[in-house]
Amino acid sequence: MAKPVGAITRGTTGYNRLRRADRWLAAVHGRVLRAAARPLVVDLGYGASHTTTLELHTRLRRIRPDVEVVGIEIDPARVALAKPYEREGLSFRLGGFELPVTRPPDIVRAFNVLRQYGEAEAWHYWQVLTKSLAPGGVLVEGTCSEVGHRAVWVALDRDGPDTLTFSARFDAFERPSDLADRLPKTLIHRNVPGERIHAFLKDFDHAWAVSAPYGAHGARQRWLAAVARLSATWPIPQHAPLGGRARWRLGELTIPWSAVG
């Protein structure tokens, strides 16, 4: 086979590290799996352990018991270590951004993969991956902290980026802009005055600060109040599946990519 496209990652992973993203993916884009005739999901760059790919397979089977999940890694040693954990609907293959699968995937999850690339390269690989999607498919690309308590991800379809999601445990930050270090590569260097992502995080911090009295009832109530205040000036989805109190209560906030991209 041709040499896999891409560079090897550090491979850091761990149990439940991607639980927040998986939960969001199932709630917001589970419809993609329900609509697919033969649902195929790719977990690109799963790292030194098979763990998060196995967890993804387990979670998505609750939506479609016949879902096929393929973990793809560029490091042959990591693939060899994961092979013994294959089971019906779950396999591991050597590869990279070229996605060595037999049909276009309905969902591609790529976490902590593009962090090591430059901004131009990140844009390029977004285009490569979205072009490989099945019609109606989605790419979820993001970065999370080592234990998964802080994460930011982008959802893209074949036309490009669609939404940006912030997600965190309420005890994992002092102010919302602490999540800036998890921004996608296409935004992280643009978090400077004059850019929209900087303005959004500045306004989020302000909403968080003035909502401090709600903290007497817990950080969740303060988050809900901050999001409500932020909604007055930013286009925050108010209803499921992208928005609404059910999602905000989880420490999530999704906004249209067009607001900050």
Q: Is residue 157 part of a domain?
A: yes
CA distances to 4, 7, 61, 129, 131 from 143, rounded to whole Å, are 22, 17, 24, 17, 21
3-state secondary structure of 62: coil
CA angle 215, 217, 219 (to 5 degrees): 45
The rounded distance, in Å, linking the Cα atoms of 169 and 200 is 20
Determine phi and psi for 247, rounding to 5 degrees: -85, -40
Residue 59 in tokens: 């979670």
Q: Is residue 11 part of a domain?
A: no
- Whether residue 196 lies inside any domain: the answer is no
86 within a domain of the structure (yes/no)? yes
Q: What is the pLDDT along the chain (261 residues), one digit of tens a residue?
A: 678 999 988 878 889 999 999 999 999 999 999 999 999 999 999 999 999 999 999 999 999 999 999 999 999 999 999 999 999 999 999 999 999 999 999 999 999 999 999 999 999 999 999 999 999 999 999 999 999 999 999 999 999 999 999 999 999 999 999 999 999 999 999 999 999 999 999 999 999 999 999 999 999 999 999 999 999 999 999 999 999 999 999 999 999 999 998
How many Å separate Cα 28 from the centre of its chain?
12
Predicted local confidence at residue 14, as pLDDT: 87
| CB burial string 12-45: b at 16+ within 10 A, e below | ebeeebbbbbbebbebbbbebbeebeebbbbbbb
d(CA 149, CA 97): 27
Strands 107-111, 90-94: pairing is unpaired
Task: Specify if 26 maps to a domain.
Answer: yes
Residue pair 149/124 in contact (Cβ under 8 Å)? The answer is no
Report yes or no: 21 and 111 within 8 Å, Cβ to Cβ.
yes
- What's residue 2's pLDDT? 74
Residue 180's CB is within 10 A of a number of other CB atoms, namely: 16
Domain that holds residue 76: 19-174+235-259
Sign of CA dihedral 43, 27, 16, 18: positive
Burial of 159 from C-beta contacts in 10 A (0-12 / 13-18 / 19+) = exposed
Are residues 168 and 150 in contact, defined by beta-carbon separation less than 8 angstroms? yes
Residue 1: the pLDDT is 60
Count of structural domains, the chain = 1
CA angle 3, 159, 254 (to 5 degrees): 105
Collapse the DSSP code of 71 into the 3-class scheme (helix H, G, I; strand E, B; otherwise coil) and give the result: strand
Specify the pLDDT at position 214. Answer: 98
Residue 102 lies in a domain: yes
Domain assignment present for 96:
yes
> Which pLDDT does position 101 carry in this prediction?
97
Query: Is 110 a domain residue?
Result: yes
Gap between the Cα atoms of 217 and 215, Å rounded:
5
Alpha-carbon gap, residue 228 to 244, rounded angstroms: 10
Bridge partners, 111 (sequence order): 142
Question: What is the CATH classification number for the domain harbouring 74?
Answer: 3.40.50.150
